Amino acid sequence: MTNKPIINRPMTNKTQNLTTQIGIRYAKGIKPYLSPKRKFKGEKVMYDADERKLLSALCHGSIFLSTTLFSIAIPIIISFITKDPVVKQNAKESINFHINIWIYGLLIGLLIWHSFGTLVPLAGLGFMLHWALTICALFYVLSDTEKPFRYPFIFRLV
């Protein structure tokens, strides 16, 4: 017995609306994403690429607002609100980066304190590296929406 597709299957309003929505999403340039959490293989979930760019950029760019708890609150809130797996990964990576910046800042501050200020250039180097990695992350998430950005040289605590 061979598996033949059913050709004469009537379309209900629900399937017609879904087909129309998928066609509109393809016309807008939204790419389908195969979610690993779905029950059926091949069931595609589509996420808006512009929304993905905006939320990922907000996660990584929140460090520009301040280095206090307010800047880490933005990726935490976004990770709870969104259902997009790429945005969730970007938020998680951004939270890890915030925590690492605080730890490295504390260590550099202690080193400067104990060396009586002779290691001040180390703080400048850390500051420049912090800003450069953040800017690289922003360029990456705005150019490639399919994969989350991974910061180098950090401990992934979350």
Alpha-carbon gap, residue 14 to 154, rounded angstroms: 47
- pLDDT for res 103: 93
- At 30, is the secondary structure helix, strand, or coil? coil
Note the pLDDT tens digit of each residue in 1-46.
Answer: 555 544 555 555 555 555 555 555 555 555 555 445 555 556 567 7
Which phi and psi (to 5°) does residue 69 adopt?
-65, -25
User: Cα–Cα distances in Å, from 33 out to 79, 103, 134, 141, 146?
Assistant: 18, 36, 26, 16, 9
- pLDDT for res 43: 59
Domain definitions of the chain by residue range: 13-143
- pLDDT for res 139: 95
Question: For the whole model, what pTM was predicted?
Answer: 0.70
* pLDDT of 89 over the 90 cut: yes
Which phi and psi (to 5°) does residue 32 adopt?
-70, 150
Looking at residues 145-157, what average pLDDT do you find? 92
Do 75 and 94 form a contact (C-beta atoms < 8 A)?
yes
Lowest mean pLDDT among 41-45, 97-101, 118-122: 41-45
Looking at residues 40-56, what average pLDDT do you find? 80
- pLDDT for res 35: 47
